[in-house]
Amino acid sequence: MLDINIYSYIFSGISLLMTTYVDRFNKISVLIREKIDKKDRFKIEILYKRINYIKRIMFFSIFSLIFDILTILSNIFIEKIVLYFFIVSIINILIAFYYLIKEILLSNEYTFSYLEK
């Protein structure tokens, strides 16, 4: 049986990740609405991809959070399925991290496009 502290660490980490990426999503949306000239297709495509990655990060983070909560509840009530919920939670947060890395790489590409001009 896993210690309940392990679940709580994941719980707080996912919440922090969600807060950060909701803020990033909003900032990118403002960029698209206000500062991007419609003629600059490259920047729009990069920002569109970044928004999609951020949406995926948030989706898999929420999914992981749900399974983390189910893990905690099943630890209290149904001990046999705790490990399965925890594994699904870990898999979902790993998928979210995959999209996090892709978004960061795209963000760098977008930033370097300004330096080349």
What is the per-residue pLDDT across 48-104, written as a single tens digit (0 to 9) for each? Answer: 888 888 888 888 888 888 887 787 777 777 877 878 888 888 888 888 888 888 887
* Whether the model pTM is above 0.75: no
pLDDT at 1: 54
CB 31, CB 47: distance < 8 Å: yes
pLDDT at 27: 76
pLDDT at 4 over 80: no
pLDDT at 32 over 60: yes
Phi/psi of residue 39, each to 5°?
-75, -25
Angle at alpha carbon of residue 81, lines to 71 and 77, rounded to 5°: 65
Cα 99 to Cα 113: distance, rounded to the nearest angstrom: 21
Residues contacting 38, CB < 8 A, separation 6+? 44
Residue 19 — very low, low, confident or very high, per pLDDT cuts 50/70/90? confident
Average pLDDT, the chain: 75
CB 65, CB 11: distance < 8 Å: yes
pLDDT at 39 over 60: yes
Q: 25: how many CB neighbours lie within 10 A of its CB?
A: 17
Measure the N-to-C terminal CA separation of the chain; round to a whole number of Å. 57
Phi/psi of residue 100, each to 5°?
-60, -45
CB 60, CB 96: distance < 8 Å: yes
Q: Work out the percent of the chain whose per-residue pLDDT is above 90.
A: 0
